[in-house]
Every structure is written in C-alpha cells, then in structure tokens.
Amino acid sequence: MSGSQMPSELFRALDAAQNDPIEKVLAALPILPPVIRYYDEFDDCVRSIPDPEGSDSFEYMYDGSRGVFDFARFGRAYGLLLKHVFAFVLGEDLSMSTVLHAVGGGLHISRDDMASVLSATPTGILRLWKILRSRDMPTTAYSCVKTVLRMLCRHRLNGWSESYLEFLSALPWPAGDAYAGVRSGDAFLSVDEEASIVRYLDGIADQVATESGRAAGALPPALDEAGMLLCAYIGGLLPPVRYIGERKGVLTVLLAPDVVRNWEADRLEQYRDDINDICQCLEDPWTRRSIAPMIRIIRSSTHHAQTSPSISKISTCCGVSA
C-alpha cells in the first residue's frame, strides 16, 4: 500500500468504528476496573480477576470448580462488550451462575444481532424482540440481550434509562413448557435411587449413633455431605406440599390445589394414610384428622414430626430442621 493510500484507509477505518453500534457503546461506557472482585459463595471468600480489559479470558471459581470463559472468540469489540456485561452483572450483586448465564448467551447472538440490539431504541425494541423470539435459541441468548439492555438503562445510553427496567422485565420469554421435566417424570427420583439414598443416610446415622458419646472430631467425615443430601432429599420427597407448620399441637400440611384437583379420591386418602404411618412410628404417635385439601394431624405433645429415626439423628448433628 502506498503512502498516499494509508490516510484514506485510516479514515475509512475510523468512520467504520464511529458507525459501529458496539464501538459507540464501548466509547460511552466507563472503562473496566483494573481488578474485578466477586464473592465465592461455595468457599465463602472474595476472589478477583486481574486486568480484565487486557485479558483474553477470565478464570473464575463457581460451585467449587475452576472455569475459564474465553472472550477472544468474539472478536475485540464484541468480546470487550461482554466483559462489561460480566462486570455489570457482578456489580448488581448477582451470583456467578447468573453471570455465566448472561455472558454465555453471547455465543448464540451474532455480532450483527447484538449491533441491532444496541441500535434499537425503547420504541423499537419490541419489533426486534419478536424477531429474536421467533428463532430457536437457548434461554441464555435472551438473557444476554436483556442484560445488555439493562446495562444500557443503568448507564442511560442510547435513549434507555432506569425507568425502562420494568418494561424490560415484561418482555416475554419464548414459549416453553416449564413443567416438561415433571410431566415426563425426569424431575423425580426412581425407586432404586431413593433406596440408595436412604441406605446411605441409614449408614451415616448408625455411625453418628456409635460416635455420639465421643469428641466432635470423631464424627463421620461425610456428615456434612450427608446433611446436604438430606436437605435435598427432603425437598424432593415433598413435591406436592406447599406448606408444613405446627401450632398448638396441630401439624398442618397444605397441598398444591392442582394436585388435589387432579388426584382421585383414593389416591388422596392413600396420601393421608402415608403421612399417618410416618407419624405412628414416633415414640408419641399422632392421631389423624383430615380436611381436604388440607391435611391436619393431631398429637398429644408439641414436638415436631420426623420422617425417620435416621433423618432425626443426622438433622440433630447437622443443625438441619427436618
């Protein structure tokens, strides 16, 4: 290239940058901080990402595992925009899971589509949103778009302001079956899986009973893990239950209205009997009185009901309320 052509090429490049919506937003956004800090809930500590603007990838810790997000694959401008999104979501005091959900959606949004999003005004975003909704994209893609628009609202760019945040929240997500896993049964444990969990909890409970008279350091090393498993197991065992409470010796179990309406009468009665069987295994058994769709079980004392002796032992040691 000759010397006379170089200035014209430079001016064309500058014009292209000035006309690029992504470059315009980057020029208006504050520069990234020298260090991005975030709270690691799993390890209960503060971690940092140094030199975010000069790094091609961010190394992070999430749920006890180390991960790397590569921004270089997006190109300089688009990658830098997603870095701003990364820092913005953490600055909103949201979790690393939400950050990865939003930034990862950029993999499904092309650079041209993102430029269109940045160019859309509050009055024009509905038309663009309908076009994006018509595509078969993952939920993370739409989360990325909404997060970018929220960032524009916070910084009052391109006609957006915080008054539009509620409007953005109302933008409809693509139609989908939120209960597909429930309908297919994939959301529930099989009989064999439940049996394995119960056997494991029984084994830990036996160890707790054996070591209960010794020092705390002698308790089973897996007790913390058993307590976490117990919490998840209790939640999974009670999918139709919306509330369980005890007041003045009366235990009240409220079921989801849809469940009660869809169950046959004999199935609802069997559910009452199953709860009664659990309560009868206690040292001070309950007597039962039922009112559909509410199930009430009455006993003489005010102790809380427990699902099994094993759960009782582990709950006591782990500080879990069963």
> Per-residue pLDDT tens for 19-34?
789 999 999 999 999 9
Q: Is residue 100 pLDDT above 70, yes or no? A: yes
Q: Is residue 216 pLDDT above 70, yes or no? A: no
State the pLDDT at residue 71: 95
| Rounded-to-10 torsion of CA 30, 155, 105, 60 | 50
Long-range contacts of 116-121 (CB under 8 A, 24+ apart): 116/21, 117/145, 117/148, 117/149, 118/21, 118/22, 118/24, 118/25, 118/148, 118/152, 118/158, 119/21, 119/158, 121/158, 121/159, 121/160
Q: Is residue 90 pLDDT above 90, yes or no? A: yes
pLDDT class for 166, splitting at 50, 70, 90?
very high
State the pLDDT at residue 38: 92
State the pLDDT at residue 261: 66
State the pLDDT at residue 231: 67
Task: Give me the half-sphere count of Cα atoms (radius 13 Å) on the Cβ side of residue 65.
Answer: 4
pLDDT class for 65, splitting at 50, 70, 90?
confident
State the pLDDT at residue 273: 72
State the pLDDT at residue 9: 52
State the pLDDT at residue 307: 42
Distance, CA of 232 to CA of 236 (rounded, Å): 6
Q: Is residue 134 pLDDT above 80, yes or no? A: yes
3-state secondary structure of 250: strand
What's the average model confidence in pLDDT over 249-276? 67
Inter-residue contact 47 to 61 (CB < 8 Å): yes
- In angstroms, the Cα distances linking 192 to 177, 189, 195, 197 are 28, 8, 5, 9
Q: Is residue 57 pLDDT above 90, yes or no? A: yes
β-pair type (250-255, 294-298): antiparallel
Q: Over pLDDT 90: what percentage of the chain?
A: 37
What's the average model confidence in pLDDT over 79-90? 95
| 297 DSSP β-pair partners | 251, 288
Q: Is residue 210 pLDDT above 80, yes or no? A: no
Q: Is residue 280 pLDDT above 70, yes or no? A: no
Least confident stretch, 98-107, 164-173, 263-272: 263-272
> Rg of the chain over CA atoms, in angstroms?
28
Give the global pTM.
Answer: 0.58
State the pLDDT at residue 152: 96
Alpha helices (runs of H) in the chain, residue ranges in sequence order: 5-19, 21-28, 76-91, 96-104, 111-119, 125-133, 139-155, 165-169, 180-184, 191-211, 223-237, 257-262, 265-280, 309-318
State the pLDDT at residue 187: 61
CA 295 to chain CA centroid, nearest Å = 31
Least confident stretch, 160-164, 201-205, 233-237: 233-237
Between residues 271 and 17, the one the model is more confident about: 271
State the pLDDT at residue 70: 95
End-to-end CA distance of the chain: 77
Q: Is residue 314 pLDDT above 60, yes or no? A: no
What's the average model confidence in pLDDT over 166-180? 80
CA 5 to chain CA centroid, nearest Å = 54
Q: Is residue 7 pLDDT above 60, yes or no? A: no
Q: Is residue 16 pLDDT above 70, yes or no? A: no
